[in-house]
Amino acid sequence: LQDLSKAITLGPEHLSWYQLAIEPNTAFYRHPPELPDDDEVYAAYEAGRALLRDHGYLQYEVSAYARAGAECRHNRNYWEFGDYLGIGAGAHGKLSDLGSRRIVRSAKRAKPLSYMNGSYMNGAGSPAAIVEGSELTEAQLTVEFMMNALRLCAGFPLSLFTERTGLPVEAISDTLDAASERGLIEVRAGWIRPTEWGYRYLNELVYLFYRDEPDAPRGAVA
């Protein structure tokens, strides 16, 4: 709260605020700090949300808060399952060709020197700096769309699902009904948004859309 209060005094239009994950190949990973338990994290999350709200910052996504009209278009493109180019070392990209129902993800070499040495066209006619590329299956499309779009507090139009995945709404109708019956989402006039309960347990909500993927994440999101 002290950190947030100091940030607020600077008067930014947008704040990204969330618990940082400890990633491999970092000092924190080699020497883990003492971390709070889940209850403490959630209490901090709720107190921080209230502080930001009281100072005019509206939460529009799990980790993003902004003054009215200052939402980040770059962020929204991710959460609305838009396309983007991955340029440079370690960059990820997503490109769609809905005419052929193909959506492909790519990842570039992470280490800059390795990336630069591999930045040429290989014999197969594809950039050698790309070390990972995969076409999303129908099941992956459904889960990844929901994993992103349900992060938006205000929700999204149901038509966006077909627009961004190329799949018919019928592909998720039964799951939407199940989520609605559990009180996790609201579906009104073609608009879907998570309820306060659904937003608190967003991983559980997204888990409902998994098919044939038993290792899906579960639990509360904070």
Task: In whole angstroms, give the CA distance from residue 218 to residue 209.
Answer: 12
Per-residue pLDDT for 40 more than 90?
yes
How much is the pLDDT for 211? 66
Q: Each residue of 57-72: pLDDT tens digit?
A: 999 999 999 999 999 9
pLDDT digits 0-9 by tens, 137-149: 989 999 999 999 9
Residue 219 DSSP label = S
- Identify the pLDDT of residue 217: 44
> Per mean pLDDT, which range of 36-45, 52-61, 117-126, 198-207 is the poorest?
117-126
Provide the pLDDT for residue 120.
56
Please, what is the average pLDDT of the chain?
A: 88
Q: How confident is the model at residue 127 (pLDDT cuts 50, 70, 90)?
A: low
Residue 129: pLDDT band (50, 70, 90) is low
Nearest to 181 by CA among 198, 169, 166, 167: 198
Distances (CA, A) of 142 to 3, 81, 177, 218: 37, 11, 15, 17
Over residues 156-201, the pLDDT tens digits come to: 999 999 999 999 999 999 999 999 999 999 999 999 999 999 998 9
Residue 117 pLDDT exceeds 50: yes
Answer whether 72's CB lies under 8 Å from 64's CB. Answer: yes
The per-residue pLDDT for 220 is: 43
Whether the per-residue pLDDT at 115 is higher than 50: the answer is yes
Sorting pLDDT into bands at 50, 70 and 90, what band is 215?
Answer: very low
Give the model's pLDDT for residue 221.
43
Mean pLDDT of 45-52: 95
- Over residues 199-217, the mean pLDDT reads 76
